[in-house]
Amino acid sequence: MIALYNQRKWTFLSYLIALVMMIPVLIMLVDGIDASTQLFGHLWQTVLPDYLQNTILLGVFVVLLSLIFGVVSAALISQTNLLFKQQLRWLLLLPLAMPAYLVAYLYTDLFDYAGPVQRNLRLWFDWQSPTEYWFFDLRTLSGAAVMLALVLYPYIYMLTRGAFEQQDQSLMRAARLLGLNAKQTFFNVALPLARPAIAVSASLVLMETLADFATVQYFSVNTLTTAIFDTWLGYGDMAAANALASVLMLLVLCVIVVEQRGRAGLRHQSSRPNMHKELIQLSFLQQIAASVFCWLLVILGFLLPFALLISMAVEYSNAEQLANLLETGINSIKVSVIAATVAVFIALILGFYQRLHGNKFSHLPQQISGFGYAIPGTVLAMAMLATFAPLDHWLNDIAEFFAWQQPGLIMSGTIFAMIFAFVVRFSAIANGTIASGIKQIPQSLDYAPATLGMGLIKTVTRVHLPILKPTILIAWLLVFVESMKELSAVLLLRPFNFETLSSQIYQLISDEMLEQGALGAILIVLFGLLPIILLNRKREH
């Protein structure tokens, strides 16, 4: 509408935040330009094509599987007379709470040769050796794809179900009057209309897949992430590693472009969701098959791994672990609380900037600052080191010059860098949640307080913030949970004597000793459930 409030300070602050959050990425890109072509050439001639191929294959597999899992379950829940619909509606979201690396480990443990499944099969059929029967090998590219899809499909399920439920029912009625039956209407109207939502969520899944590092590493699937690690740690060539990371980022950028287009399409959806919806009636057999499909997703994605964790915890936990858990748990919570708070704070500043400074470019800071989501944690951690170490030096040099006490590595050597990485990575989540919350506040509420004698700051604090309270809570929790799960940045940036739940679990997993950390893993999962429960409750009302 009108440029209502034109406070320069706010504009300045918004762009400053966006810039600060972009700096690590820029530095990484600049570093990458110096990469030695020699090493690059060697990699390109030997393993890089395979890595790239693996990366792309993994991405394609995960997205395809997640689409099958997510779109089908969303359609069944919102369009048919499925059995146990009310329960499945929220149960299907639960796998979101499971970190992929955890599921990967638990299933390997379960399905390995020595695992209970194969052991019992051998007992029943009296097989002696692995040559006598075929059993699938989980530690493959497709295995990794299944693991990732099992915990990532809820993104697609959530957004697609939302799209189905928000669809204007008069469109469906029009289709029926034009001679289509319920099923035809779904395939010819509802599904095409949901396409933007499906595209957006699929791109989320793809980004998460490209950012994954622990699962593929555990499964020995060599992807671009492997290549980054190799060049950095093996060959000790940071510049080449940065160049590879930039390639990965370019891949992700492509995904973002697709996603943005999808979002543009989303705007055309009108909503009149309150009208009664006619469901596709499944036959009894179809109902059973559909229910089994959904229940399998819930069981495989959440219930089974969670049960495995609990049984591990029951069997192996002891008092020493509890004390340890307390320490690492508090560390995890500490950094996650700070990261979530900062991210939400930034999201609010940028969200209100966009809302109240109605000019053409006011969405820019928000978009720029959300870019970090596309950067895998490992890459981001490298960028943090590249950014803050020189800054620390500079600070210390200044202190030295003025003969002050030198502060030491106050940025790169403390949890600061770690939290900064979390904030850069997860700001997009907070931004998205807060922005959609703000969008739901009628524009007139921006103006009404002024007619009642209230200035800008008070308008925001007295009107917008209270209305946004539930949204803020959800945004906060989402970032909190993601931070609890985040691994790569922690591994590379943590300071002295500092372990988080995720880094500890990862180490135990790489030593094949997750039993020792089962309690911590349960804790991460339980925290991950909080926003799901909350989101679900919000939708119900």
Partner 1 sequence: MTTLLEINQLSVKLQDKHILQQLDLHLCAGEILGLVGASGCGKTTLLNAIAGFAKLTDGVIQLDNRIINDGELMVPAQERQVGMIFQDYALFPHLSVTQNIAFGIREYSASEQSLRIDNLLTLLKLSDHKDKYIHQLSGGQQQRVAIARALAPQPKVLLLDEPFSNIDARLRTELMLEIRQLLKKLNITAIFVTHNKDEVFTFADKMAVMAEGKILQLDSPVAICQKPNSWLVADFLQLGTWLTCKLNRNELSTPFGSLNLTDSELEYITRRVSNVSNANLVLLIKPQYLQINESLTVNACVEHISVTEQGYHYQLSSIDDNTRKQSNVSLYSQRMLNIKEKVALQVKPHPLLIFSQ
Partner 2 sequence: MLKYIIVGLLLVTSFLSSASSEVNVYSYRQPFLVKPLFDQFTKQTGIKVNVVFAKKGMAERLAREGKYSPADVLLTTDISRLVELREKDLVQAVNSAVLKEAIPAQYQANDNTWFALTTRVRNIYSAKRLGNIDFNYEDLADDKYRGLVCTRSGKHPYTVGLIASMISEHGEEYTLDWLKKFKQNLARKPQGNDRGQVQAIHQNLCDISLGNSYYFGKMLTDDKQKVWADEVYINFPNQNNRGSHVNISGVAMAKYAPNQANAKKLMEYLISKPAQALYAQTNMEYPVRKGVPVSDIVASWGQFKADDLPLEEIAKNRKAALILLDKAKFDL
Could you tell me which of 21, 75, 97, 25 has the C-alpha nearest to residue 364? 21
**Smallest gap from residue 333 Cβ to partner 2 (A):** 11
Residue 452 binds which entry of partner 1, partner 2, none, CB below 5-8 Å type-dependent? partner 1
> 335-347 as b/e, with b when 16 or more CB fall inside 10 Å?
bbbbbbbbbbebb
**Smallest gap from residue 198 Cβ to partner 2 (A):** 33
Residue 73 binds which entry of partner 2, partner 1, none, CB below 5-8 Å type-dependent? none
How crowded is residue 527: how many other Cβ atoms within 10 Å of its Cβ? Answer: 21
- Strand, coil or helix: 280: strand
Could you tell me which of 226, 229, 225, 231 has the C-alpha nearest to residue 36? 231
The reply on whether position 114 binds partner 2 by CB under 8 A is yes
How crowded is residue 406: how many other Cβ atoms within 10 Å of its Cβ? Answer: 14
Which residue from 182, 266, 450, 473 is in contact with partner 1, where contact means CB under 8 A? 450
Which residue from 45, 320, 453, 496 is in contact with partner 1, where contact means CB under 8 A? 453
- Strand, coil or helix: 80: strand
The reply on whether position 395 binds partner 1 by CB under 8 A is no
Q: Is the dihedral of CA 268, 274, 279, 284 positive or negative?
A: positive
Contact code string over 460-499 relative to partner 1, x by CB under 8 A: ---x--xx-x------------------------------
Provide the greatest CA pair distance for the chain. 85
The reply on whether position 364 binds partner 1 by CB under 8 A is no
The reply on whether position 464 binds partner 2 by CB under 8 A is no
- Strand, coil or helix: 218: helix
How crowded is residue 50: how many other Cβ atoms within 10 Å of its Cβ? Answer: 13
- Torsion angle in degrees (nearest 10) through CA of 331, 528, 145, 76: -170
**Smallest gap from residue 124 Cβ to partner 2 (A):** 17
- Label residue 136 exposed, middle or buried (CB < 10 Å: 0-12, 13-18, 19+): exposed
Residue 3 binds which entry of partner 2, partner 1, none, CB below 5-8 Å type-dependent? partner 1
**Smallest gap from residue 532 Cβ to partner 2 (A):** 23
The reply on whether position 454 binds partner 1 by CB under 8 A is yes
CA dist., res. 179 & res. 176, Å (int): 5
Residue 392 binds which entry of partner 2, partner 1, none, CB below 5-8 Å type-dependent? partner 2
Candidate ranges 143-151, 219-227, 291-299, 442-450; the one touching partner 2 (CB under 8 A): 219-227
| Site of interaction with partner 1 (CB under 8 A) | 1-4, 442, 444-445, 447-455, 463, 466-467, 469
| Site of interaction with partner 2 (CB under 8 A) | 42-43, 46-47, 50, 112-114, 128-131, 137, 139-140, 219-220, 222, 229-230, 232-236, 238, 334, 337-338, 341-342, 345, 381-382, 385-386, 389-390, 392-393, 396, 406-410, 412-416, 491-492, 494-499, 507, 510-512
